[in-house]
Amino acid sequence: MTTLAERARAYLQDGPRPSLDIVREVMGLARANLAVSERLAVALLGADPRFSCDREGCWALVPEPAWLGVPLDDVRFAVVDVETTGMRARDGDRITEIAVVHVDGPRLAVAFESLVNPGRPIPWRIAALTGITDRQVAMAPTFDALADRLQAALAGRVFVAHNARFDWAFVSAELERATGYPPRMPKLCTVRLTRRLVPELTRRSLDSVMVYFGLETDRRHRAGGDAVVTAKALLRLIRRAEERGLRTWEDLAQLSRTNQA
């Protein structure tokens, strides 16, 4: 299912368009007048950082940032954690909870957090680990209903997670199912960064990293708690990278790509 925001994104690929065109062509309201169209366009796109509106009332896509040469302090990160029904992102398992923490310089802010109705039972072993039960998610929104808000929280940022391959596999699979489009954004794994920047730490689980850096949370194995401590770990890893002379996004990305075994 393609969301309205994704349809608007595809529609605006060819260039800016006025609210009236967006409402008529994207939302299918052929008889909408200008005043109604302006209100509807703002309601649909106004809070989404992927879109901008000029003084003439034309909407356009905000260009994705070019990270080439960007100092580390200016890179905007989206630290993500997901809880799931299992390990198979494209073979039956689904997200049960997701959180996004924005990291802008030294500042952290929880940008998105929600339980998710996975549409399938949660295995008892996973429920015991996370505390997330079938009853808790029964009234939670489905991923389809959250997709636009999640994409807005990720837009224009670098995707970060502890074992990013796992979290990215689920987020990308869910977004593609919900919108019809695979997400595209740079990615960074704090496990790989830890391997390169903290070689003395032989175990690189999130628990081990938390102990090493003196981080705490009372919400371990919940998306919000794990995303916050991962974001704090990221800041400490960036500090180490800067002490080694790394200054830009390319420096950090190259370090992460090295020695990925």
Note the pLDDT of residue 68. Answer: 80
* Single-letter residue type at 235: L
Looking at the fold, whether 22 and 128 belong to one and the same domain comes out as no
Coil vs helix vs strand at 59: strand
Looking at the fold, whether 109 and 146 belong to one and the same domain comes out as yes
Note the pLDDT tens digit of each residue in 20-36: 999 999 999 998 999 99
Looking at the fold, whether 155 and 242 belong to one and the same domain comes out as yes
Looking at the fold, whether 55 and 122 belong to one and the same domain comes out as no
Task: State percent of the chain over pLDDT 90.
Answer: 81
* ∠ Cα 180 4 55 (to 5°): 130
Task: Answer yes or no: is pLDDT of 75 > 60.
Answer: yes
Would 209 be classed as within a structural domain? yes
Looking at the fold, whether 106 and 137 belong to one and the same domain comes out as yes
Looking at the fold, whether 57 and 129 belong to one and the same domain comes out as no
Element containing residue 177 per DSSP (H, E): helix 164-179
| Residue 85, token pair as written in the block | 């029904």
Would 9 be classed as within a structural domain? yes
Handedness of CA 7, 12, 18, 24 (dihedral sign): negative
Note the pLDDT tens digit of each residue in 36-62: 999 999 998 988 888 999 988 899 998
Task: Answer yes or no: is pLDDT of 211 > 50.
Answer: yes
Q: What is the CATH number of the domain that holds 162?
A: 3.30.420.10
**Predicted TM-score of the model (pTM):** 0.84
Looking at the fold, whether 209 and 250 belong to one and the same domain comes out as yes
Domain count, the chain: 2
**Which ranges of the chain does DSSP label H, i.e. alpha helix?**
4-11, 19-25, 34-45, 124-130, 134-138, 143-154, 164-179, 190-197, 206-213, 223-243, 249-257
Coil vs helix vs strand at 261: coil
Task: Give the confidence band of 259 by pLDDT, cuts at 50, 70, 90.
Answer: very low
Would 196 be classed as within a structural domain? yes
**Residue whose entry in the numeric block shows the structure tokens 């977004």:** 175
Task: Answer yes or no: is pLDDT of 186 > 90.
Answer: yes
Task: Answer yes or no: is pLDDT of 239 > 60.
Answer: yes
Element containing residue 173 per DSSP (H, E): helix 164-179
| Residue 137, token pair as written in the block | 């998610």
| Averaged confidence pLDDT in the chain | 92
Note the pLDDT tens digit of each residue in 82-92: 999 999 999 99
Task: Give the confidence band of 260 by pLDDT, cuts at 50, 70, 90.
Answer: very low
| Report for 1-10, 44-53, 158-167: range of highest mean pLDDT | 158-167
Cβ contact 18:58 at 8 Å: yes
Would 66 be classed as within a structural domain? no
Looking at the fold, whether 51 and 77 belong to one and the same domain comes out as no
Output the CA–CA distances (angstroms, integers) from residue 22 to 34, 200, 237, in the order listed. Answer: 11, 55, 44
Task: Answer yes or no: is pLDDT of 210 > 50.
Answer: yes
Q: How far is CA 204 from the centre of its chain?
A: 22
Please give the average per-residue pLDDT across 183-206, as a whole number: 94
Note the pLDDT tens digit of each residue in 86-115: 999 999 999 999 999 999 999 999 999 999
Looking at the fold, whether 90 and 197 belong to one and the same domain comes out as yes
Note the pLDDT of residue 64. Answer: 74
**Residue whose entry in the numeric block shows the structure tokens 């960036």:** 238
DSSP-assigned letter for residue 22? H
Would 67 be classed as within a structural domain? no
Would 231 be classed as within a structural domain? yes
Task: Answer yes or no: is pLDDT of 222 > 70.
Answer: yes
Looking at the fold, whether 148 and 197 belong to one and the same domain comes out as yes
Looking at the fold, whether 156 and 226 belong to one and the same domain comes out as yes
Looking at the fold, whether 123 and 238 belong to one and the same domain comes out as yes
Q: Measure the CA–CA gap between 226 and 218, rounded to whole angstroms.
A: 10
Please give the average per-residue pLDDT across 182-193, as a whole number: 93
| Domain region containing 49 | 4-61
Q: Measure the CA–CA gap between 49 and 53, rounded to whole angstroms.
A: 11
